[in-house]
Amino acid sequence: MSEISGRPLSKLGFLTIGTFDESDPFTGHENTLQLIEFGEQLGFDSAWLRNRHLQYGISSPVAVLAAASQRTNYIELGTAVTPLGFENPFRLAEDLATVDVLSHGRLNPGISTGTPTHFDDVKGALYPDSSDSENFGYERATRLLAALRGDTVSTFEGTEGIEAYSPIIQPHSPGLIDRVWYGAGSLASAAWAGDQGLSLLSSSVVRAEDDDDFARIQRAQIDLFRAKHPLGASARASQGLVVIPTDSATSEQSAKYHAYAESRFARTLIPQGPARMLFAPDLVGPSAAIAETLQAHAGYQAVDEVVFALPFTFGQSDYLQILTDIAGTLGPLLGWSPQSR
């Protein structure tokens, strides 16, 4: 199959929320692990997990990725994204470094800042003694970055009895700091990620600040990120959209996919709510049509990496079909080929 003209795609990843039945959480988590294994077999460069608290989706992606690290060999493993408002940066740094060691340097932590969702409802359980003084801004992220970098977190170092103590987070995984991504939805957050030298995860939701066109907004954020980044145009940025190819789908699957996209289309027409959040349309159809749409998309034109999101509510057989078509048909149309192992 011939390649669509344009910038070739160098890295292809997928993202899942990892839904499960409340009465049978094992099956949902196992299905997610099997999807990651399947993605590696198809040649995907990366698999990413969303983070969902108090919902029926993966609440502990780092723990699930630890399991995935023992069932895969090559595929990179990421979080997209971990909201730091729910986290203690010290403890999260330990967990991330541990999984990076277990995966032999394949972890790509994606993070975001901001007040936790439904904070007034959970603050009594989350921060019973400090909810009024917690800082949910970038300071929380800089603490995590410092810990991953190997900055001192303790004034004590040495031996106490038979136990040895380190002043930095252990285990320390030196390359991990260079694989941290920031999930930006605004110009300010894109600029901050660039200033910090992070990589940029650009998703299917953006803040409509100076424009109401999703593609132009996403492109403006990517351009600003690189303008601020020490690496400039070489700084890594990845685009994330919901992409559902139908090449090998059954007629029933195709009808379901189109109905799903249509049910969500209204929110893509105008910015939503006081924050003016704008959603990208889901891309459903033959891979050739999706490839042409992406090649004309201003945001896509600025990247050579993508992390396509799987819809939340589909079944395991649907996900297997979608991943097969992405890797086997859509990816090659975009110039991608699986890395030789």
Tokens describing residue 146: 């410092």
Does 181 map to a domain?
yes
Query: Mean pLDDT throughout 62-85?
Result: 98
The string of pLDDT tens digits covering residues 205-240 is: 999 998 999 999 999 999 999 999 999 999 999 999
Does 282 map to a domain?
yes
Does 156 map to a domain?
yes
At 289, the amino acid letter reads A
Domain count, the chain: 1
- Would you give the end-to-end CA distance of the chain in angstroms? 23
Q: Residue 285: which region, alpha, beta or left (left: phi > 0; alpha: psi -120 to 50)?
A: left
pTM value surpassing 0.85: yes
Does 46 map to a domain?
yes
| pLDDT at residue 341 is higher than 70 | no
Rounded Cα gap, residues 222 and 290, in angstroms: 21
The string of pLDDT tens digits covering residues 297-329 is: 999 999 999 999 999 999 999 999 999 999 999
The per-residue DSSP string of 59-101 comes to: S-HHHHHHHHHTT-SS-EEEEEEEEGGG--HHHHHHHHHHHHH
Does 1 map to a domain?
no
Does 157 map to a domain?
yes
**pLDDT classification of 6: cutoffs 50, 70, 90:** low
What's the confidence (pLDDT) of residue 340? 59
Domain with 270 in it: 11-333
Rounded Cα gap, residues 46 and 100, in angstroms: 14
Does 289 map to a domain?
yes
Does 338 map to a domain?
no
Q: Provide the CATH number for the domain around residue 65.
A: 3.20.20.30
Rounded Cα gap, residues 116 and 3, in angstroms: 43
- Nearest-5° Cα angle at 267, 206 to 111: 30
| Contact residues for 5 (Cβ-Cβ < 8 A; gap 6+) | 295
Rounded Cα gap, residues 185 and 171, in angstroms: 32
179 three-class SS: helix
